[in-house]
Every structure is written in structure tokens, then in C-alpha cells.
């Protein structure tokens, strides 16, 4: 909410939206605007806020969110399986299961990174690798080498 108010205080184009807010919010925003102008912070605050938002790579999911999404617990009457179990059922390696757990618990924020991840997943789904395929063996070696370097 504060991020939204900071941007509205500095950006004069948003005045039409501000007029539709509840009176208590407008009064609070007026005091905030006075404070920002008094200490000459109107130029620095939005850039700090926007840079912080743009630099974050992953969403932060708290325990309540994870519980509400039924990632590790099943809250449905007719389903005994969790989302994690249903998704990792199709993974053939432990590395794939760990990677899927990472992806479920730390979703990406940036649209470019999401598109890159989707294209990689699509590529691997189209390959239809079985355990005897040479590319599958190469992936196993690559995973091990990657793990050793990190």
C-alpha cells in the first residue's frame, strides 16, 4: 500500500484515481505528501521502491500461502494427493523432483525469466527422453558437474 501511495504522491497523472479513494486514505496520503515534500524525498522514494521491485527474482511465499495453495498438504475432500505429489509423479530423477520443489516454493517474478523457464520445459518435454537415451545420460553428468561447482 505504501508503494502505491508513494507513486501516487509523486505522479500527478494519478490524481483522478486518488479522488475516488476513501476520505481517510486521502487524509493519510496528504500527510504523507507533506512529509515527503518537507524532507525533499519525492524524487528519491519512487526510484528506490521501483528498483527494489524490479530487482526481486522470486516471490516470497509464507507458510499460509503455501498451505492455501495446497502445495504440500491436501485440503480437498476428493484428492489425497498434494500438488507437489501430482507434479513430481512425472519426474524420473531425484534432481527433477528437487528442482520442481524449488520452482513450486519460489515462483519467478520477472516475465522474461518465466518465459525462459517455460521454453526450457517445452524443449525437454518435446525430447521424450528415456533412461537409455544418450542425451539423458548427458543431463545426468551435467547435473552432477553443476552440483559440484556450486
Q: What is the pLDDT of residues 101-148, one digit of tens each?
A: 888 778 888 788 888 888 877 877 777 655 556 555 555 555 566 566
Q: Which three cell numbers stand for residue 9?
A: 504522491
The residues, ordered by sequence, that sit 6+ positions from 114 with a Cβ below 8 Å of its Cβ are: 108
Contact 49, 73 (CB under 8 A): no
Q: What is the pLDDT of residues 36-56, one digit of tens each?
A: 777 776 666 655 555 555 567
Nearest to 82 by CA among 90, 73, 69: 73
**pLDDT tier for residue 1 given thresholds of 50, 70 and 90:** very low
Return d(Cα 49, Cα 125) in angstroms, integer: 39
pTM of the model: 0.41
Q: Which three cell numbers stand for residue 92?
A: 524420473
Amino acid at each position: 500500500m505504501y508503494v502505491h501511495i508513494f507513486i501516487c504522491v509523486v505522479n500527478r497523472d494519478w490524481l483522478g484515481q486518488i479522488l475516488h479513494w476513501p476520505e481517510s486514505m486521502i487524509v493519510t496520503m496528504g500527510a504523507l505528501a507533506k512529509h515527503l515534500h518537507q524532507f525533499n524525498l519525492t524524487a528519491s522514494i519512487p526510484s528506490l521502491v521501483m528498483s527494489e521491485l524490479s530487482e526481486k527474482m522470486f516471490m516470497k511465499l509464507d507458510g499460509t500461502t503455501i498451505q492455501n495453495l495446497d502445495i504440500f498438504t491436501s485440503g480437498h475432500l476428493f484428492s489425497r494427493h498434494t500438488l507437489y505429489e501430482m507434479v513430481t509423479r512425472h519426474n524420473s530423477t531425484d534432481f527433477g523432483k528437487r528442482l520442481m520443489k524449488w520452482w513450486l516454493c519460489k515462483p519467478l517474478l520477472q516475465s522474461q525469466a518465466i518465459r525462459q523457464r517455460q521454453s526450457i520445459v517445452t524443449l525437454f518435454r518435446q525430447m521424450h527422453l528415456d533412461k537409455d537415451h544418450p542425451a539423458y545420460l548427458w543431463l545426468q553428468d551435467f547435473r552432477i558437474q553443476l552440483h559440484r561447482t556450486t
